[in-house]
Structures are given as C-alpha cells and as structure tokens.
Structure 1
C-alpha cells in the first residue's frame, strides 16, 4: 500500500544513501554565533525531503504493526509508530492544502 505512493518521492532531486539520515536543508544561525550562513534549498528539495520522511514514517509504522502481529513488538511501540505516521500524513496534507490554496489565489490574479 505504501509503495503505491512512493512514486511521489521521484519528484525529489535529492537521493539519500541507505542508512544515512536526511540532510538538513538549512543550517540555523544563532544571533552572534559566527560566520555560518544559512544554506538555501530549493522549494522542490524541501518538499521532496518532507515527502521522503513521511513515506519512511509510514513504512516504519507498517513494519512495527507487522512485528506486533508476529508478537515481536508491544502495543505501545505500535501506537507510537502509528501516531508518528499519522502526524506526518496530517502535516503533508496541510502543506498540500496550503500550496493548492496559494496556486488558486495566484491563478485568480489579473495580469
């Protein structure tokens, strides 16, 4: 089921290596912290990374659920994984809604 939406990750221009965590898209600079400047990532890269993270979270929840069915995971682990996946999905849906709303607003503008 999750593999069907993995094709959305194909829009990402950044491919992560196996076992490596997601690369930060921008570094945070504290006031007076030094000369480090934030690195700007493109909008497509940020959305691609978020999509990849959401898919990874859903796959993790699915795997934990299967472990629980086999008796290898307890209920708390399953609930934590499913709640994390649900939060990722809700965030992705909220961002999608904001992007669609912004697009529709731009489309209504007169040239």
Structure 2
C-alpha cells in the first residue's frame, strides 16, 4: 500500500520530538541559551502522549461519524493520521527492543 505525504508529517513530528535528545547537556557543558536537560524517558513520554492523543481523536471522530455528526473526510483524515502515528510508534518500539537485545548480547 502506498502511503501519502501526510505520513511524512506524522513521522517527522515523532522524529522531531526525538531530535530534542540532541540538546541533552551534561554538567560539564556550560553553554548559555541551551534548553533545559531532556531525558530519553521524557522524550518517549511526550511522543507516546501525542500518539495516544492522535489515536483517541480518531476514535472520537469515528464515533461522531456513526452518530452522523462528523464529516466523512475528517474521519478519514483522522483515521489515516492515527494509522501513520501507530506505524511510527511501532517502528520506534521495534528499534528500542532491538537496541536492548543488542546491548544484552554484549560481552561484559
């Protein structure tokens, strides 16, 4: 199945949230104008929170469509956005699991 360009936006948003990890500063780095420290857990939490919000929005619009209160185009857009967000979340999960497995195989 060929994905539209809208999928690039959602993947870009999730990737943009994770780009904040590049701004992590250590105590030895004394750079002014640097954002406060961002932890990996905080970045993942923010990304998952946004993904959950997108999925709930699609579910709500689907229920409204069943009641005849929502436009079909809006429902299709929301469901496709939710699908793309879910695919991005699954890809991130898979990378985290494979990284964990790779680290667990390292010799001590």
Task: State the TM bucket, normalised to the shorter chain.
Answer: 0.5 to 0.7
Partner in structure 1 of residue 83 of structure 2: 86
CA RMSD, Structure 1 to Structure 2 (Å): 2.0
Partner in structure 2 of residue 103 of structure 1: 100
**3-state SS, counterpart of residue 36 of structure 2:** coil
* 1:18-97 equivalences in 2 (<5 Å): 26=20, 36-97=33-94
In the alignment, structure 2 segments of 5+ residues that lack a partner are 1-16, 24-31
The C-alpha deviation readout for 1:42-89, integer Å capped at 9, x for no partner, is 000011111111111111000000111111111110000001111111
Q: CA deviation at 1:39?
A: 3.5
What is the alpha-carbon distance in structure 2 between the residues aligned to residue 40 and residue 86 of structure 1?
Answer: 31
What is the alpha-carbon distance in structure 2 between the residues aligned to residue 73 and residue 47 of structure 1?
Answer: 32
**3-state SS, counterpart of residue 102 of structure 1:** helix
Larger RCO (CA under 8 A, 6+ residues apart): 2
What is the alpha-carbon distance in structure 2 between the residues aligned to residue 39 and residue 91 of structure 1?
Answer: 26
The C-alpha deviation readout for 1:17-57, integer Å capped at 9, x for no partner, is xxxxxxx784xx9xxxxx63243310000111111111111
In the alignment, structure 1 segments of 5+ residues that lack a partner are 1-23, 30-34
Q: TM-score of the superposition, structure 2-length normalised?
A: 0.68
